[in-house]
Amino acid sequence: MTIHPTAVVSPDVRLGRDVQIGPFCVIESDVTIGDGCVLAAGVVVKSGTTLGRDNRVFESAVLGGFPQHVHVPERPGRVCIGDGNTLRESVTIHRALDENAVTTLGDHNLLMVNAHVAHDCHVGSHTIITNNTMLGGHVVVADRAYVSGAVAVHQFCRIGTLAMVGGQAHVVQDVPPFVNVDGLSSLVVGLNQIGLRRAGYGVEVVRQLKEAYRVVYRSRLPWKEILRRLATEFPEAPASLFHEFCAATTRGIVSERRLPPGATLKLRHQTEEESPLRVKVG
């Protein structure tokens, strides 16, 4: 265990083996830091925070800060961080509002510079949350989701397994699993094909996911009928996650960005020497 002489560490902090605490860190009381964690310069770990094993926390991150809420309780909840996470510079993760609640971060996540995880969020494992992303209170991010830079996620929204949210998107409804959200329009633009391929999903599995996607976004059925068809036609994972996710939504799901059949999209301005360049959509 290595503690820099300029670090301020409460005497009742529970430190695991081979922990490294860099210069000017502040570790308050009621904190647990697991084996092999490395804290760079200026990291602040506040009361009510637990870190698992082998986490790497970069400069100026603040873990366990009080909730940003107009009615902050005197005794808020906790922050629980799993194993093998990388938290880059100036990441902030806040404690839950209720004394008995926990803000959670799973295992092997990468949170890039200035990412913010608000009170009562639940982030799964193997996610990537990139620079300047803001997760509002009570947001849920499922395993292997990818949230691009400067995305703002409204409180109580959910982002499903292996979903991909494009940069600067404004997420105000639930993002179903396996879909791709365009950053410019903040609307769904199909399945996250690259993420599915990298996750090792085979051709047959992707085909089932496409069929389930079409039921959700292309069938034009009433919502109850969509849920019934998802439950009946896709009883096995991973396609069954569409029903599981959609049946639990309270905010509704993000709409699809799709032009009407026969519409045309102008790609660039016509010059005097050129004919109009248009692409048929639909």
- Integer Cα distance of 278 and 270 in angstroms: 10
Angle 270-272-278 from CA coordinates, rounded to 5°: 25
**Residue type (1 letter), 134:** M
- Compute CA 168 distance to the chain's CA centroid, rounded to the nearest angstrom: 14
Decide if 26 contacts 7 (C-beta within 8 A): yes
| Rounded Cα–Cα distance for residues 248 and 58 (Å) | 36
CA–CA distance, 88 with 266 (Å, rounded to integer)? 41
Q: Determine phi and psi for 269, rounding to 5 degrees.
A: -70, 145
- Please answer whether residues 17 and 33 qualify as being in contact, where contact means their C-beta atoms are separated by less than 8 angstroms: no
The amino acid that residue 249 corresponds to is T
Contact call for residues 128 and 147 (beta carbons, < 8 A): yes
Q: Just list the catalytic residues.
A: 119-120, 137
Whose CA is closest to 213, among 140, 162, 148?
A: 162
